[in-house]
Amino acid sequence: MEKLKLLGTYTSPFNRRVMWALKLKGVPFEYIEEDLFTNKSELLLKSNPVYKKIPVLIHNGKPISESTVILEYIEETWPENPLLPVDPHERAIARFWIKFMEDKDKAKKDCLEVLRTIEEHGLKEDKKFFGGTNIGLTDLVFGLLAYQWELMEEIVGVKLMEVHSFPRLHTWAENFKSVSVIKENLPDRDRLFARLKGRKEVLVGSSKSH
């Protein structure tokens, strides 16, 4: 039996997207919750010496770090229930939106502009998911928009992702959350709320629009 371990934290969206991918493919794994603030485990430090961050996937003793690299690895290793299209151009589009989301994470730019770009360019009228008719890696990377956004709006006290302004995003979020693996593996609302509230200043900063 292949040994598969995932080092992560409950509230991290980077960790959650990897969990979703493994569960969508029906791949069993051992999950290890890391304490990032007081005590990073020896295993984590040894497995990701470059960044010392979660998530880290350890497969038969070999570590893989960086969530998007892990997602591609999972797709390559367990091709059943594919999460990337077969056509190279479609794959390039999926990867483009994954990179888009990663870059915006780092830049913490104008939220509204990011949402507008996704609404206008990322989601086309007849697409159920970013990948088309089936859920894919891009949907998993955008996943936190489906469950975290409402909580953030509540904490910050500003409604940003209005239904009438972002109809496609709202439809996508509903489609995403209705996939049974996703529905059964969303973070607990209260636990997430407590975590996000602690980062209110960061959220207030990033919710301002120009």
Partner 1 sequence: MADEVVLLDFWPSFFGMRARIALAEKGIYYQYRDEDLQDKSPLLLQMNPVNKKIPVLVHNGKPICESLIIVQYIDETWKGKSPLLPSNPLQQAQARFWADYVDKKIFPSLRDTWSTTGEQQEAARKEFIEALKVLEGELGEKPYFGGDSFGFLDVSLVPFYSWFYAVEKCGNFSTEAESPKIIAWAKRCMERESVAKSLPDSEKVYNYVLENKKKMGLE
Q: Contact residues for partner 1 (CB under 8 A)?
A: 50, 59, 62, 64-66, 68-70, 72-73, 76-77, 88-89, 91-92, 95-96, 99-100, 117, 121
The residue (of 103 and 188) whose beta carbon lies closer to partner 1 is 103
Of residues 12 and 48, the one with the C-beta less far from partner 1 = 48
Q: Give the nearest distance from C-beta 177 to partner 1 in angstroms.
A: 25
Nearer to partner 1, 100 or 176 (CB): 100
CB of 52 to partner 1, least distance (A): 14
Give the position of tokens 């996943």.
Answer: 143
* Distances 151 to 7, 144, 182, 208 between C-alpha atoms, Å: 25, 11, 18, 16
What's the rounded Cα separation, in Å, for the pair 70 and 61? 15
CB of 28 to partner 1, least distance (A): 18
Query: What is the Cα–Cα distance from 151 to 190, expressed in whole angstroms?
Result: 10
Give the number of residues written for the chain: 210
Shortest spacing between CB 75 and partner 1, in angstroms: 9
Taking the C-alpha atoms of residue 171 and residue 152, their distance in angstroms, rounded to an integer, is: 19
Residues 29 and 5 sit within 8 Å (Cβ to Cβ) = yes
C-beta closer to partner 1: residue 1 or 50: 50
